[in-house]
Structure 1
Amino acid sequence: MAGCRSIRRVIVAVFVASCLIVPDGLAAQEDATETVFGFGPTVQSPLDDRVDPAITFGYSEIGLVPVPEFDFAELHDSGVFAAGVDWIEVDDDRLVDYEAPHLRARQVHATVLRDLDALTERISFLRPRVQALSDEIAYEHAQETRLAAEIDTYKMAIAEFAVRAFIGDEDLAEALAVPNSDAPENRVLADEVRQGQFAQIDARENEIARRRAYRGRLEHDRYTLRRQIRGLQHARLDRLEDERELTRLIERTASEYRTALHDRLPRMVRGTDLPLVALNAYVIAERTMAIERPRCDLRWWMLAGVGKIESAHGHFGDSTLDTNGRATVAITGPALDGRILEGAEFLTAGTPPPEPTTATTDLPVAPPAATGGEASGDGGDAAGAGGEPVEEPVIRRLALIADTDDGVLDGDSRYDRAVGPMQFIPQTWRTYETDGNHDDLMEPQNIYDAALASARYLCTAAGSMASEAGLDRAYFAYNHDEAYTEAVKAAAYAYRRRLGIPDAGESPTSPLGLAEIPADDVSRTVSDAVLALDLSGLPDW
């Protein structure tokens, strides 16, 4: 069936070209195996994405319209990305590979539309000519009928004249205005009348023959035009079917482009260790907070610093982030059981360990009991033999937090563990949990949910993060450790220098969330597909 269709396309294209309706409607496929516009060698399937559609639909390069201008931003408007994030380059970025097939499909589609317009215009031009020919044929036929009727009238008159002359009709003689109808001159006059009537008949028969021949030429011209119109109509029907197929191809290449666009999300932003999906989540959180708490002045890079130190943006252990921002392997920290992390060597039989707290922190070691008349002093700094201060021994002890979630979030029913890319303790998550990607789920293992929850936590702790002191307050509240605070700030500033993402107030933004990959896109599995979300509840960013 596909072979017949191809042959029919060739016939139609040759017919159209012969009528000079469509310029170069078909060209020889002398180089059909050459890769053009991202398409490879010709195969059997008429819409196989390895086939150049120009070859499939019977066009040479010179027969195509110029490549139409197209703004690929239209395909970016899928509700997945924060405005601006979708254009950031990532490692192994192959998005450009999907542009050429889409543009080629649009180019061939535009050429088919041009041909459809030309065919329609040609048909519209020929139909009035057919009607004019039909009108003229009808007129000629009417004249032939009139002439035939006149001939019949003359023939009847001749017959009647002959009969009346034969029977010696007095009225005939009277009609000839001759007193003696038997006179020879009367017979001559009657013959002249008959000859005149025969001459009229001959003249009309000649006129009928001439008009009949002319009408035959008109009917031949009309038949030729009607055949041409029928051929053009068949060509137009074929081009209409081509247009429908190319529309489907455009939709498919657009879907493949969007899929490739979404598939970039788990990849690293070029030149950084930051996954694009994490950056997207941080920017969404920033722009959400710009509406919820504008005085907080939180920026995406402030969250990126936390994400970097807490879990390398979800790339912890065997875990990465998938297209939807979910950790591929659940990220959990150590059990918060109060264990000693550093400084155990300072503990002796006479030195009891400091009691654990609900925060991982450095704790001073209690001095041993005084012996042999030694005194601990007056509470001032201890001094060595040379009079220089001696640092008091400290140990680093993990927080001690008994289970608060029955192991639902962290899988531990004895102690709590920090969970997810932003490392929330379960009881803290219950306070700040949120649905950052509008999928009706609040998951600490999802970077969209965790980033927005972290943003709200930091803003609550700092009040405003517009100053260095505000950053210190926010990060220290996240983890009571000055070294941690400095490490997060260093990472945050590095991201700010590396990536020029506009702040929320500096550029227009669009609704954010996750969009649905079309159902007919068989190149992806259900588990890989971007989630379909209800965006009706999103603010108008």
Structure 2
Amino acid sequence: MGGVRKTWGAVVAGVVAAVLLTGCASGGAGSTGPEATFAVSADAPRASGVGDAAFTDGTPSAELVDSGWLDLVAEATGIPRRALQGYAGAALAIGERQPDCHLGWNTLAGIGWVESHHGTIFGGHIQDDGVTSDLIIGVALDGNGFQEIPDSDAGAVDGDTEWDRAVGPMQIVPTTWAAWATEANGDGVPDIHNIDDSSLSAAEYLCYSGGDLGTEDGWRTAIAAYNESPAYLDEVLEYANRYADEAADAG
């Protein structure tokens, strides 16, 4: 993982740790080929009548995405529809704010898979309001196999007053949430357990870290800032390109 102030939690529990260890060493297969070294930037279409500045003008990020596309791509990729809506909405919203970042929804989806299996890691799901049905709290970051991050929030975000833990469907640690929490669903309160808010917060941080994620250097730098493990990058790369290909094949 990266530095303390802007570090993202990577491991929800032992099952995710196992996932990280299975990353493909040569990168993800897909539209950029079996030797891909960074993820393609896949775009999601806007809903009919939703303008290019809709999020800036107050439309919740989840309402930016075309519903027919969501139905089609959720079925093609196996990503739960509400999770996909969070990723795609965040990508469209960050595209308004930072058009030079070129962050695709598929990169957020790749991260969402590795971090929490799209909010289903403990048998729960993302509800219609975007909030996970069950709290997703990672292991204590006590230096025992993970980065050591002493408690920074008196347990307010993660419930732990001794060590920080990664929280929510995108597994964000309290220090990072304090710096990058972003409201996306229009209720005025960033919620780390909400897929819309957590996805847009992740998008803001990725763009800050990598600059232009349409380039290899930018994409790899951004993912390394989220989690510095090479196996983590490989896993995100594999799923990001796989999702992009499956969405393209679905039409």
TM-score by length of 2: 0.72
Equivalent residue for 2:182, pick from 424, 434, 439: 434
SS in 1 for 2:160: coil
Partner secondary structure for residue 411 of structure 1? coil
Deviation at 1:318, TM superposition (A): 2.9
Q: 219, 223, 226: which is aligned to 1:478?
A: 226
* 2:68 is the alignment partner of 1:81: no
Runs of 4+, deviation exceeding 6 Å: none
- How much has 1:284 moved relative to structure 2? 1.4
Q: TM-score, normalised by structure 1?
A: 0.34
Tell me by how many angstroms 1:88 deviates: 3.5
Partner of residue 87, structure 2: 282
Give the Cα separation in 2 of the matches to 1:86 and 1:443.
27
Shift of 1:324: 1.1
Deviations 1:313-368 (A, max 9, x none): 111113210001101111010001111xxxxxxxxxxxxxxxxxxxxxxxxxxxxx
Residues 171-215 of structure 1: CA deviation (Å, up to 9, x unaligned): xxxxxxxxxxxxxxxxxxxxxxxxxxxxxxxxxxxxxxxxxxxxx
Indicate the residue corresponding to 1:460 in structure 2.
Answer: 208
| CA-based RMSD | 2.1
Give the letter aligned to residue 63 of structure 2.
Answer: F
Percent pairwise identity? 35
Q: For residue 274 of structure 1, what is the amino acid of its counterpart?
A: I
Against the structure 1 CA distance between its residues 482 and 449, is the aligned structure 2 distance closer, same or farther, given a 3 Å change threshold? Answer: same
Higher-Rg member (1/2): 1
The secondary structure found in structure 1 opposite 2:77 is: coil
How far does the alpha carbon of each residue in 1:137-183 deviate from its partner, in whole angstroms, 9 at most, with x for none? xxxxxxxxxxxxxxxxxxxxxxxxxxxxxxxxxxxxxxxxxxxxxxx
Quick check: 1:319–1:331 contact (8 Å CA) kept in 2?
no
Match of 1:165 in 2: none
Pair 1:270-2:75 in alignment = yes
Look up the match of 2:19.
none
> 1:320 is matched with which residue?
125
Distance 1:89 1:434 in 2: 26
Once the two structures are superposed, residues 99-136 of structure 1 have per-residue CA deviations (whole angstroms, 9 ceiling, x without a partner) of: xxxxxxxxxxxxxxxxxxxxxxxxxxxxxxxxxxxxxx
Please identify, of 311-320 and 415-424, the stretch whose mean Cα deviation from structure 2 is larger.
311-320
Partner of 1:490: 238
What are structure 2's unaligned runs of at least 5 residues?
1-47, 50-58
Q: CA deviation at 1:469?
A: 2.2
CA displacement at 1:415 relative to structure 2: 0.5
Q: What is the CA–CA distance in structure 1 between the aligned matches of 2:85 and 2:64, rounded to whole Å?
A: 6
Aligned to 1:308: 113
Alignment equivalent of 2:103, drawn from 298, 302, 309: 298
Residues 247-258 of structure 1 aligned to structure 2 (within 5 Å): none
Tell me the secondary structure at the aligned position of residue 92 of structure 2. helix
Select 2:159's aligned residue among 396, 407, 411. 411
Change (3 A) 1:465 1:399: same
Residues in 2 aligned to 1:401 and 1:85: alpha-carbon distance in whole angstroms:
40
Cα distance in structure 2, aligned partners of 1:296 and 1:317? 32
Corresponding letter in the other structure for 1:270: E
The one of the two structures with greater contact order (alpha-carbon pairs below 8 A, sep at least 6) is: 2
Matched residue count:
192
Among residues 115, 119, 142, which one is paired with 1:337 in the alignment? Answer: 142
2:168 matched residue in structure 1? 420
Q: Contact conserved, 1:333 with 1:418, CA < 8 A, in 2?
A: yes
Match of 1:363 in 2: none
Cα shift readout 1:5-59 (whole Å, capped 9, x = no counterpart): xxxxxxxxxxxxxxxxxxxxxxxxxxxxxxxxxxxxxxxxxxxxxxxxxxxxxxx
Q: Which amino acid aligns with 1:429?
A: W
How far apart, CA to CA, are the structure 1 residues paired with 2:186 and 2:104?
A: 21
Secondary structure at 2:155 match in 1: coil
